[in-house]
Structures are given as structure tokens and as C-alpha cells.
Structure 1
Amino acid sequence: MQVRHIPANTGPLVVMVHGSSWNGLQFDGLARSLQAEILIPDLRGHGAKPGRRGDVDHIGQLEEDLADLISAKTKEGQKVVLLGHSSGGGLVVRMAGGAYANQIDAAVLLAPFLKYNAPTTRVQVGGWARALTRRIIGLSMLNGVGIRALNHLKVIEFNMPKSVLDGPYGDLATLSYSYRLNTSYAPRMDYMSDIAALPPFLLIAGVEDEAFSADQYESLMSEATSQGAYRLVPDTNHLGVVDTPATAAAISEFLNDL
């Protein structure tokens, strides 16, 4: 993974997990507004050095990569906060429910993807993504009986804005995912169990989010856990929630209280 590092002498280690199709550049502004040590990886399959763009070696590899990064970079006694936006938030939830949960002390979820069938998810994620549903169903059935030979096949495509694709960083966009990457990037089928395993967390979403129903997060997630604090930001959409000053202020307050 390519990793950006913003050092700090004190405070927690905040690992920022970018959303689907993009890379760690999305956090440049937010990272510099926080008083903490920051790590911003480009997840495997993404960014300027993707390996195989849109793919990983096996389901679960994104969690393994994050666990290795945290193990290598955490100072003795330093708390670790895993922050994720959109699918990156989904990966944070997945990691909390998996084998590496003990590496996370707290989480920040920015408009997280919880699951395709969660009440928070709009149809086709508000037009942002097109899932190849029949292929996903078929591959899920094959994986259920231990057949993984076709997990490299593409199962989702992203509608990245033309203005981004034509811009200076357009070549860094990842426009489709394999089954194994897409599965690695989201909570498990029993997503409520992953949610229940979250450490203390802050969830922030924009009221005008086009991809997810922001007002559904608290009612859904509070069924599984009482560990969360929820903030809705007015006049803010799905991408805008990352850079709005209200988000930085809420995260700073959350980090100070750890």
C-alpha cells in the first residue's frame, strides 16, 4: 500500500480509510485539520500503485493489510482510531467484527455503507454504483460450497463524475471491483453482528446524502449497539461530509474525549 503519514508528538493514531473507487487523496483537507498522528493508505487495488486495480488476492485481504499497518506504526500505549468514509466506513465496521477487532480502540464512520439491503442504502446507492446482481448471487452460491476460482470476476461498476475522470487525478480512479475486493470492502452478510462489535464510535452523515438515508443510521445501529454518537450535518451531501468544517469539529471533539 502507498501510505501518507502526518506525524504528531501526542494524540491517537488515526488511520483513514477512503471510499470506493477513489484513494487517500480525499482526506488531505480533513487530515490536516486534526490534532493527531494520521495514516492515509491507498487500499490494495486503488490509487497510483494499485497492484491489480480493482482486485485483491482473497476475501479479507484489506483487513489484513490494515492490521499489518496498525501493528507496524502504533506507538506503545497509543490509541488507534479507524476512520472510514462510505465503503471505507463499511470496511471499518467489517474489521470491528473480525479477527483484528482488538487493534481498534475507537472508530469514526462518515456516511458508511452498511450493506446493500440495509435500510440506510438507497437504490443503486443513489446512482453511484451499478451492481451486477446475478453475478454476485452466483458467486456467493459458489463460495458457499467452497468454490472460489471465479472470485476475480467484476461484480460492480462505479459512475465516477466526468469532471473527476477528466481532471488531473482521473487516472487514479478505480471504476470496477472484483467479487473478492467488493466482498472485502463491506460488512459481512450478518452486518448487524459486525455493527454490534464496534468500539466507541462517532457517525457523521450529511442530511442531503444521495447514496444513503442519513436519518436511518441511528435507529438501525442502536438496535445492535449503544456505543455510538450520531451527528447529521445540514446542507451536506455524500462526498461533502468529508470536508465540511462541522465534520472536523465533531471528530476533534471525539478524539479529545478518548
Structure 2
Amino acid sequence: MHQDAARPERRGRLAVGEPPQAKQLGHWDALADLGDVVCLVDCILAKSQSLRRAKAKVAVLFAKKRWIPVLLGLGILVTPCCAFGAEPDGSSFSFAELATSPTQLAPVQTLKASDGTELAFREYLPSAPVAVLVLYHGGGAHSAAGYQTLGRNLADRNRIAVYTPDLRGHGASGGPRGDAPSSAQVLEDIGTVLDAVRSRHPGLPLFLGGHSSGVGAVVNFLTGPHPRPVEGMVLISPEFGHFAAVDRPNLPHPFASVSVMPFILNSMSGGLLGGHCMAIKFNYPPNVLKADARMVTENSVNMAGALTPASPRSQLAELRMPLGLWIGKQDELLDPTAVVNLAGAAASQDKHLEVLEGAKHLSILMTVQAQIGPWITSHTKTGAER
């Protein structure tokens, strides 16, 4: 019997927000991971804008003896190591509601990111808007994956102009699928979009929001080095990342699988290596991928870093603008009580935290306009005067 026939599954499993139980893997897995690392390092150096600069950084690592922890980390790879459980079968949550959404899509428009990449977005405009909402999609998704219903309803029923951008590497935006030059570039893109939207609607209150892991990107942006002033935050089914520990326990079908080595390599190299490695795999059901080829199935270390707050509780404590949060009581991935408790850490004195009966992680997009619309308009000058 060949030993490789008995090799266990290499890819890990992560239910969005929480590492699962670890199990022991053998030397075959470690050697395969080491081969992946070697290939990835070669690829990243080859794609570097300046190979000379990359080599110089490596030289600095060795000069400062930072090669010691790097080698120790690589040494871990050739001993039995921990990885996560096997891929789940089945769906993490129901896509049925989104599949039946009849709402007409707005056409794609684009603008240029600071590095020249095309950033796509869709615009839902009422005739006389009273406020503006920029809403970012969740992990692997895009602006046409159910967000059109919410955008159209807010525009038609609440006179809110809604912009639904595609993150770079997602949907109709440019860039390698699921990847980015850096986590910082993804956050800079958010600033670029906000600046463009504000220029279209001078004087109107501007709100920034996200759904699922789009919330993580919004939190990172607003607590990052170059935030923009916004009137308030709109958080829907908020995925604050695995450091938040707000997942439902014992999920039967975790949504995302994690390969841990690229994150280790990236951390040990001070961000020089591994950033473009695909480290997160989204477990979208085959029928969803067949129906929508625009869904992204993997995210790189750089993209994952942009969508994952490193310290969600302390970052929320920095946010003082009005905050509205809505999560379904039947959310398949997140524990609503834990999410609401975490959001309570926000410094804002104006927080609306609501658990919606009957709503799920995705189906909430079909109905939450009824709550978000009045909340936003109540925070405009017109709404306050009513």
C-alpha cells in the first residue's frame, strides 16, 4: 500500500469567525506544504514590482537575524503539525431567497483606484435623495449577489441613494480574483469610492455599511490610518472576523476553509512573503457556483487581512458615529446574542442593535430595508425635523 494513499486532507476548516478542532497530520502534509511555500515565495518575488527591492528586504531580514524565527517556522513544517478538519459537504446557509430575487440590477459603473485598477460599483438613485449609503458585500460575493434588492428598495421607498461596490478582485472590479497588492490597498479603495460618491452628492449625509465580512472591511477602514468622515455605520449580519469569537457553536457546514501556513509565512516575513497566497476557501455549494460564475471561491492573505479586524472589540471602541446593526435571529453562521454584545463595545452613544425574527444570514437582505431605511432617514436633517 502506498503511503500517499492514506494521506489526510490538507486543507483546514474554519467556520467564519472561529478556529475548529485541530487534528494531527503527518510528514507528507508538511512536506507538501513546504513545497507550496517554496513555489509561493518564488512566485511572489517574480511578481514584485521591484525584484531588487524584494531581494534587499530579504537581505535585511538575514542581516537582522530575523531568519532565525523564519527557519524555526519552516522547521515546524517538517514535523507532525496541526491542521483543521476535512472539507464539509453541503451548504453553510440558504441561497434560495437570493436566487428568487426579481429585482432589476443597476448597470455597472467604474472608477480608477490609486494604482489604476478598475473598481466597479452599482448605483440605485431616487429622484431626490435625502441620504447616501455605500454598502460593501460579503466574502467571495459581489454587488449583484442579492444586494440589488436592498439597494433598489432603499432608493424607491426611503429616497436613499445606494452604492454597492465590488471589492477589487471581485465581481466586475479588476485585479486578480480574490487578491490585492496589500491589505492597505483594499482599504484605500474604500476611501477612493467614498470620495467619488461624496462628490456626486455634496451636502448629503453619507453612511458606510457592509454585510457579513464586508463589515470587517468597513471597521478596518474607519479605524485605519486614512478614514473618511461618515454620518453613520450600517452593519448587516456583521462578520467581525475570527478574533471576535461570535460564531454559532458546532456549525454542521462551516462556510470557509483556512490554510494556515501562508498566514504564518506572511507574519514571520514582516509581510514580505505570502501575501498573495490563497489562504481562505469559501465553501459555496456547486449549484451556486454554476449559477453565478462571478462568485470568488478563494481569498489571499492580503484580502483576508483587509476583511478581518485584528482586534474587533478595541476597534469598535474607537467608533463614535451612529451605528445601526441588524442580524437575523436564525442566522446560520453567527450567534446573534454574541454579536450584539460585541457591538455594544462601540464608543458611539447612538447605537441601534436589532435581532430580526425569521431572518437568516443572506435572506435578511430581502427584508431589512424596512428597518434600515427609517434608521438612516432619522439621522438626516430632514428626518430629525419630522
Q: Distance in 2 between matches of 1:228 and 1:211?
A: 23
Cα root mean square deviation, aligned:
1.9
Q: Is contact 2:322–2:350 with CA below 8 Å preserved after alignment?
A: yes
Match of 2:150 among 30, 33, 49: 30
Q: Distance in 2 between matches of 1:97 and 1:147?
A: 20
Deviation at 1:134, TM superposition (A): 3.9
Q: Which amino acid aligns with 1:135?
A: P
1:56 to 1:123, Cα distance in 2 relative to 1, 3 A: farther
Q: Distance in 1 between matches of 2:274 and 2:345?
A: 36
What is residue 56 of structure 1 aligned with on the other side? 180
Q: Is contact 1:82–1:106 with CA below 8 Å preserved after alignment?
A: yes
What is residue 141 of structure 1 aligned with on the other side? 268
What is residue 227 of structure 2 aligned with on the other side? 101
Do residues 220 (structure 1) and 347 (structure 2) align? no
What is residue 278 of structure 2 aligned with on the other side? 154
What is residue 300 of structure 2 aligned with on the other side? 178
Do residues 41 (structure 1) and 41 (structure 2) align? no
Do residues 6 (structure 1) and 132 (structure 2) align? no
2:183 is paired with a residue of what secondary structure?
coil
Gaps of 5+ in 1: none
Q: Which amino acid aligns with 1:231?
A: E
Match of 1:255 among 370, 373, 376: 376
What is residue 325 of structure 2 aligned with on the other side? 203
Q: Deviations over 1:113-135 (max 9, x none)?
A: 11203231346975111111343
Alignment of 1:105-124 (within 5 A): 105-122=231-248
Gaps of 5+ in 2: 1-118, 380-386
2:293 is paired with a residue of what secondary structure?
helix
What is residue 234 of structure 1 aligned with on the other side? 357
Q: Is contact 1:115–1:121 with CA below 8 Å preserved after alignment?
A: no
Q: Is contact 1:207–1:232 with CA below 8 Å preserved after alignment?
A: yes
Match of 1:19 among 138, 160, 165: 138
Alignment of 1:180-195 (within 5 A): 180-187=302-309, 189-195=310-316
Provide the TM-score with structure 1 as the length reference.
Answer: 0.90
Q: Distance in 1 between matches of 2:173 and 2:376?
A: 31
1:137 to 1:124, Cα distance in 2 relative to 1, 3 A: farther
Q: Deviations over 1:57-108 (max 9, x none)?
A: 1112222111111112212222111121000111111112113433322111
1:136 is paired with a residue of what secondary structure?
helix
Q: Distance in 1 between matches of 2:346 and 2:172?
A: 38
Deviation at 1:224, TM superposition (A): 4.0
Q: Distance in 2 between matches of 1:115 and 1:3?
A: 24
Q: Which amino acid aligns with 2:124?
A: I
Q: Distance in 2 between matches of 1:161 and 1:86?
A: 18
What is residue 384 of structure 2 aligned with on the other side? none
1:10 is paired with a residue of what secondary structure?
coil
1:50 to 1:128, Cα distance in 2 relative to 1, 3 A: farther
Q: Distance in 2 between matches of 1:232 and 1:124?
A: 21
Q: Which amino acid aligns with 1:2?
A: A
Q: Is contact 1:96–1:195 with CA below 8 Å preserved after alignment?
A: no
Q: Which amino acid aligns with 1:22?
A: A
Same amino acid, percent of matched pairs:
27
Q: How many residues align?
A: 250
2:327 is paired with a residue of what secondary structure?
strand
1:107 to 1:154, Cα distance in 2 relative to 1, 3 A: same
Q: Distance in 2 between matches of 1:147 and 1:24?
A: 30
Q: Is contact 2:137–2:211 with CA below 8 Å preserved after alignment?
A: yes
What is residue 82 of structure 1 aligned with on the other side? 208
Q: Is contact 2:160–2:373 with CA below 8 Å preserved after alignment?
A: no
Q: Distance in 2 between matches of 1:124 and 1:148?
A: 36
Deviation at 1:228, TM superposition (A): 2.0
What is residue 68 of structure 1 aligned with on the other side? 192
Which 10-residue stretch deviates more, 42-51 or 53-62?
42-51
Q: Is contact 2:191–2:228 with CA below 8 Å preserved after alignment?
A: no
Do residues 165 (structure 1) and 289 (structure 2) align? yes
What is residue 127 of structure 1 aligned with on the other side? 254
Q: Distance in 1 between matches of 2:132 and 2:346?
A: 26
